[in-house]
Chains A and B, each alone.
Chain A
Amino acid sequence: SQKIEQNSEALNIQEGKTATLTCNYTNYSPAYLQWYRQDPGRGPVFLLLIRENEKEKRKERLKVTFDSTLKQSLFHITASQPADSATYLCALVPSGGYNKLIFGAGTRLAVHP
């Protein structure tokens, strides 16, 4: 069956450290993979997008990698801050899926001072 999985447990880290979040998928051939941030009671906010033929993308303190062989994407936040505390969602767009996003369940990140 098709699945997209993220660590269900919350990730707790100290301020200043690098947070690494994992997204694994099964039986999909994604054309794109995206990462979003969601705060309680709000809609998701787009962070980064990576295409199937790309290995890595960066934006300021954020980095995403994509390994189509392992069927995995990693999302890194360097020099993390308490303001980075939120739920992070990965989403894939299957080939031919237009803008249909298939979301993982999300990983809650807590950055402690």
Chain B
Amino acid sequence: KAGVTQTPRYLIKTRGQQVTLSCSPISGHRSVSWYQQTPGQGLQFLFEYFSETQRNKGNFPGRFSGRQFSNSRSEMNVSTLELGDSALYLCASSEQPGQGLEQYFGPGTRLTVT
């Protein structure tokens, strides 16, 4: 099976702009989670979607939002970008709807805000 894919891989945006990142989970996986990774804060959970519903959310401002489509593909959006949003954004998928399952991560989208 193909792994988790994320597009684009690299992105440069200007402060105040908005950005949309895309994630395609492994075929058959219905749970998709998003994480932000920075040198200072490490890996931080953003949100998790299952069957098009957000069922868990991290401690990020409302500028960060996401959604999941019926084919399990997911997008996350960041509005009014700030310099501190520069990070590696990782998407992960899980096979079953349970909890605590192993997650398969994509290669990430490297976002730079200037």
Contacts and interface: CB of A to CB of B under 8 A. Distances in A.
Contacts of A91: 43
A60 to B, nearest CB: 16
A83 B74 CA distance: 33
Contact of A45 (B58, B94, B105): B105
Interface residues of A, number: 26
B-side interface size class:
20 to 34
Interface in A15-50: 31-32, 34, 36, 41-46, 49
Interface stretch (B12-20, B64-72, B95-103): B95-103
A100 B45 contact: yes
14 contacts: A34-B102, A46-B102, A91-B43, A97-B56, A97-B99, A98-B55, A99-B31, A99-B94, A99-B99, A100-B58, A101-B92, A101-B103, A103-B43, A104-B42
Interface of B: 4, 31, 33, 35, 42-45, 48, 50, 55-56, 58, 90, 92, 94, 99-108
Interface of A: 31-32, 34, 36, 41-46, 49, 51, 89, 91, 93, 96-106
